[in-house]
Amino acid sequence: MSELTFEQMLEESFKTIRNGEVVDGTVIDVKPDEIILNIGYKADGIITRSEYTNESGADLTTMVSVGDSMTAKVLKVNDGEGQVLLTYKRLAAEKGNERLREAFENHEVLKAPVTQILGGGLSVVIDEARVFIPASLVSDTYEKDLNKYQDQEIEFVISEFNPRRNRVIGDRRQLLVAERAKKQSELFARIQPGDRMEGTVKNVTDFGAFIDLGGVDGLLHISEMSWGRVENPKKVFKVGETVEVMIKEIHDTKVALSLKFPESNPWANAEENYATGTVIDGKVARMTDFGAFVELAPGVDALLHVSQISRAHVDKPSDVLSVGQEITAKIVDLNVAEKKISLSMKVLEPTAEQVASDDTSADE
């Protein structure tokens, strides 16, 4: 057997490596755009910036130090210049994908910060492995602007796992739906009509406001916002404000709310406040051809029939009255059960005989 040359013996002393092999090494030099590792091979290993991190423009000297131990994967044994090209990022992503696979199979809830806002959803990273959460799976309600989630830590589950097609899908919506269902069940078990509780205004429409009671949305209809008349709910409520409401009705999972608290019912003392024969001031709220409705107090409207406006003939209420006008009238009828009050301005006017009598007295 011929003797080996020194160069041959030196080469034999180094281990052999192959593409795809995982190797351990020690950092012997760091530059802003690459890391050099001693991997116990005849050539050093090189990790470029793009194979270390997804952060473009990162300065590797601030992330790795000489002497650090690292594990990487071989991309190419010889890059043409006698160097071994390595990847740290892809190996970490492979380990991350294994972590995601286990989470997918075990239905595990994961938590991670949002690293990127994309056109169709959010991107998060678990152990260097990316997870995409479509906009439709971000929340249990429509989200117009996803930018608020940037850098926010969120919980989700893996609903689809196919790393070969680079398709790993996260789902936050099902967690929120499950949480809401639990809160709904707990809330419905303890509330009943007549209860009062605080809620947060979630949305305001032309017909009412939706109030979040803590997992259950209740509807505060425009007709239940006040004992009086509310023309525009959007002028009364703002999204995000806290209000105390009363549970009016519960039908399955629908809750009707009210702000008409019994103690503030303007009809509670109607027999005393609006007794027949009482002379009272009011404001014309609206008019019809047969009369005018006069607001005596918020929630208490009385009818002033056209025949009771004046002793003189009146064709239409709008001929002598206007909406918003303050008037003085006498209560001529009260029906508390039907919440009806009839007024008369005519009875407060002097009769023809009284006028004639006054004129005669004046002449004397």
Task: List the structure tokens of 267.
Answer: 């009809």
Q: What is the DSSP letter of 160?
A: E
pLDDT of the residue at 319? 92
pLDDT of the residue at 14? 54
Q: How far apart are CA 75 and CA 46, in angstroms?
A: 10
Please tell me the CATH superfamily of domain 191-263, with its number.
Answer: Nucleic acid-binding proteins (2.40.50.140)
| CATH level 3 topology of 270-348 | OB fold (Dihydrolipoamide Acetyltransferase, E2P) (2.40.50)
Q: What is the DSSP letter of 187?
A: H
pLDDT of the residue at 7? 56
Q: How far apart are CA 284 and CA 296, in angstroms?
A: 9
Alpha-carbon distance values, 255 to 104, 155, 220 (Å): 37, 29, 9
- Residue that is written with structure tokens 């709910």 in the block: 233
SS3 144: coil
pLDDT of the residue at 130? 86
pLDDT of the residue at 354? 64
pLDDT of the residue at 11? 52
SS3 101: helix
The C-alpha torsion from 47 through 31 and 95 to 44, rounded to 10°, is 40
Nearest to 182, CA basis, from 157, 159, 155, 214: 214
Q: What b/e sequence results for 249-281 when a residue is b if at least 16 CB atoms lie within 10 Å of its CB, and e otherwise?
A: ebeeeebbbbbbeeeeebeeebeebbeeeeebe
SS3 129: strand
pLDDT of the residue at 356? 58
Q: What is the CATH number of domain 6-87?
A: 2.40.50.140
pLDDT of the residue at 268? 87
Q: How far apart are CA 53 and CA 63, in angstroms?
A: 10
SS3 177: helix
Which residues 6+ apart lie within 8 Å of 102 measured at CB?
108
CATH number assigned to the domain with residue range 95-176, chosen from the 4 options 2.40.50.140, 2.60.120.10, 2.40.30.10, 3.40.30.10: 2.40.50.140
Q: What is the DSSP letter of 322?
A: -
Helix (H) or strand (E) holding 183: helix 173-188
Per-residue pLDDT of the chain (364 residues; tens, 9 = 90+): 445 565 555 455 456 788 888 899 999 999 999 999 999 888 899 999 988 887 778 899 999 999 999 998 899 887 666 789 999 888 888 888 888 999 999 999 999 999 999 888 999 988 878 899 999 999 988 888 899 999 999 999 999 998 778 789 999 999 999 998 888 888 998 899 999 999 999 999 999 999 999 878 999 999 999 988 888 999 999 999 999 999 999 988 899 999 999 998 999 889 999 999 999 999 999 999 999 999 999 889 999 999 999 999 999 999 999 999 999 999 999 999 999 999 999 999 887 666 556 555 555 5
Which residues 6+ apart lie within 8 Å of 285 measured at CB?
229, 292, 293, 294, 295, 301, 323
Q: How far apart are CA 149 and CA 300, in angstroms?
A: 49
Q: How far apart are CA 324 and CA 190, in angstroms?
A: 45
- The answer to whether domain 6-87 and domain 270-348 are alike in fold is yes
Q: What b/e sequence results for 163-188 when a residue is b if at least 16 CB atoms lie within 10 Å of its CB, and e otherwise?
A: beeeebbbbbbebbeeebeeebeeee
Task: List the structure tokens of 91.
Answer: 């190996």
pLDDT of the residue at 1? 42
Domain-by-domain residue ranges, the chain?
6-87, 95-176, 191-263, 270-348
SS3 95: helix
Alpha-carbon distance values, 152 to 111, 116, 149, 215 (Å): 10, 10, 5, 22
Q: Report angle CA 119, 122, 128 to the nearest 5 degrees.
A: 125
What's the residue count for the chain?
364
